[in-house]
Amino acid sequence: MQIFPRELNLLPLVLGVASTLASIAVIGVVWYYFSPANLQVGYEPHQPIPYSHRLHVGQLGLDCRYCHSQIERSHEAMIPPTQTCMGCHDIVRKDSPALAPLRASWATNDPVPWVRVHKLPGHVYFDHSAHLAAGVGCVTCHGRIDRMDVVHVDQPISMEWCLDCHRNPAPNLRPPSEITNMTWQPDKTWVATADSVNPPTNCSGCHR
């Protein structure tokens, strides 16, 4: 003898599936909104001036360090000051409407309000200098910047990503003279070894 209609036998199963799906959705939403956009592949904020790495690096052939001049020394790679641009744009395309915010910055001394693309959370310690000295190239972490009109995040910047390389750095090392070269490929004379480097894999190495 049945008290409840037969269809209700499925109810516990339906409820179970529904609550599992609901908790997966909640985790997904929290994950999405709490993981900063600056760490996600493809994040490409709008910049105040249509500055193009494709043009300045890919076509004009400027070295990264012409503008990011402190990258091998300082903690911050530095976005170049207006003066670096004015070295050329005082003469080149000096009336271009695209450069109006640059001229305004030059006149007022206020920096151009460039929007930060990559940004690690405050609890993570990262310094370019040790990486560059060890021979990790810009392209390994930032992709083909020389082909980007607008810079975007190229690699999934996560703890796993850092650790993957730290556990096995050798394939990502190159001669230090080639760190800004976007097209360097190992040839027969290059032997990748990680003998002289010691990337941290312990928590306090990156969370200081």
Phi–psi pair at 127, nearest 5 degrees: -135, 125
Taking CB under 6 A as the binding criterion, the range among 2-10, 18-26, 117-125, 185-193 that sits at the site for ligand HEC is 117-125
Cα 76 to Cα 94: distance, rounded to the nearest angstrom: 30
CB 122 within 8 A of CB 166: no
Restricted to residues 16-75, the positions that interact with ligand HEC (CB under 6 A) are 35, 39, 47, 49-51, 53, 55-57, 60, 62, 64, 66-68, 71
Interface residue with ligand HEC, options 19, 23, 83, 158 (CB under 6 A): 158
Shortest CB 25 distance to ligand HEC, Å: 18
Cα 63 to Cα 182: distance, rounded to the nearest angstrom: 10
Taking CB under 6 A as the binding criterion, the range among 2-10, 20-28, 142-150, 184-192 that sits at the site for ligand HEC is 142-150
Shortest CB 35 distance to ligand HEC, Å: 5
Taking CB under 6 A as the binding criterion, the range among 5-13, 14-22, 103-111, 128-136 that sits at the site for ligand HEC is 128-136
Measured from the CB atom, the residue of 2 and 196 that comes closer to ligand HEC is: 196
Shortest CB 188 distance to ligand HEC, Å: 22
Asked if 205 touches ligand HEC (CB under 6 A), the answer is yes
Cα 195 to Cα 54: distance, rounded to the nearest angstrom: 35
Asked if 94 touches ligand HEC (CB under 6 A), the answer is no
Phi–psi pair at 34, nearest 5 degrees: -95, -15
Asked if 119 touches ligand HEC (CB under 6 A), the answer is yes
| CA distance to 18, 160, 189, per residue, from 194 (Å) | 50, 20, 16
Shortest CB 190 distance to ligand HEC, Å: 16
Query: Burial level of 59, CB count in 10 A (0-12/13-18/19+)?
Result: exposed
Query: Burial level of 103, CB count in 10 A (0-12/13-18/19+)?
Result: middle
Shortest CB 34 distance to ligand HEC, Å: 7
Asked if 131 touches ligand HEC (CB under 6 A), the answer is yes
> Angle at Cα 57 formed by Cα 181 and Cα 97, nearest 5°?
165
Shortest CB 19 distance to ligand HEC, Å: 24
